Amino acid sequence: MTGLGVISPNGLGKEQFWNALQNGSSGVDEITSFDTEEFSTKIAGEVLDFEATDFFSKKEARRMDRFVQFASAASQMAVDDAALEITDELKNSVGVSIGSGIGGLQTLEESHKKLMEKGPKRVSPLFIPMMIANMASGKVSIDLGAKGPNLTLVTACATAAHAIGESLRILQRGECDVMITGGSEATVTPLAIAGFGSMKALSTRNDDPQKASRPFDKNRDGFVMGEGAGVLVLETLDHAIKRNAPIYAEVAGFGMTGDAYHMTAPCPDSTGAIACMEEAIQDAGISKTEIQYINAHGTSTEYNDRLETLAIKEVFQEHAENLLVSSTKSMTGHLLGAAGGVESVATLLSMTNNYVHPTINLETHDPKCDLDYVPNEGRHAELDTTLVNNFGFGGTNASLIFKSLKD
């Protein structure tokens, strides 16, 4: 990885984001984008300081759903961070894979309302291209002139991690030299909050928003919706060295499995998550004891937190006691399809700074969640090898292993 871009509820750009993570600063607050009077959940991790016109013209911004704006802005950040110039000579060897779990839901809701109130002729001709999930990859490709592989994965909350892993495979197959990859999501909308609320998946700790996302805490009551984007620039090592690029780490391993169990619930014996981590470790060709830190899926839901803990203990056995584990979602909320991108950025910044950010709001330990979750205060630690977990509805699992490149 040679470049990082991030739009999150607790920071725009890697510097703001990292400062917030170090300080344990939450981006969760009362929802401002719509009236929540009739909703049981009134809180979310909104991106409040994002101005689309800082990145695009007014006309251009109006032609993009919010999730595409996030993706394009984060991609610009990542490419700038990588000092990557996409020349005519390079453009055919630069690909884009930016996923979204849901796509342009805001556009869909607004267009449906217009259809119902004013009729079909008032639906914008831009409705379809603004809504469909592959428009994030498409817009980034157009903006950057990247003519290599262009694809979008949709695997719920594992989307961005799968996009990064599949981008690794594209590079390994020699199909291009550079992939711009990650995930973007903008689902702090009435329909999304209503839908997840009806499933009883969301926290209703409305009186104390910044305490609502509390992974691994005994008193957690559901996840908090977040929005944003996390994008990485991946390059082959030869290409990065040839242009003297800054290198954060390598994507050393990738695993993906399916639970084959339930549409929304994780498998109760954690076999899917276990197999996923095992596959990533095998793919990386490392021993389990080399891993020092896990950026957990850590959603703040009862079953996910317990079953991810169970899976980690089963995979790592006695080494699980030595692992540092933390959840970025404690500060950002759950960014659904963007989660793996934002959490990969967090992990790479942790490796760069040799510092593990805390899991905030961990006040009362769940007896079944008994690992070292770095509660409430971050910790200095030299990090050479890390693992990122993301698991999604439909029983889809992804694990990534990042490894520092030593001189």
Catalytic (active-site) positions: 157
User: For residues 49 and 234, what is the distance between their CA atoms, to the nearest angstrom?
Assistant: 28
User: For residues 63 and 96, what is the distance between their CA atoms, to the nearest angstrom?
Assistant: 20
Q: What is the DSSP string of 212-268?
A: T--TTBTT---B-BB-EEEEEEEE-HHHHHHTT-----EEEEEEEEE--S-SSSPPT
Contact 16, 234 (CB under 8 A): no
The phi, psi pair for 344, rounded to 5°, reads -70, -40
Q: Which helix (H) or strand (E) holds 138?
A: helix 135-144
**In what order do the strands lie in the sheet containing 178-185?**
11-12, 3-8, 228-235, 178-185, 94-99, 150-151
Give the tokens for residue 262.
């339930």
User: For residues 132 and 104, what is the distance between their CA atoms, to the nearest angstrom?
Assistant: 6
User: For residues 331 and 25, what is the distance between their CA atoms, to the nearest angstrom?
Assistant: 6
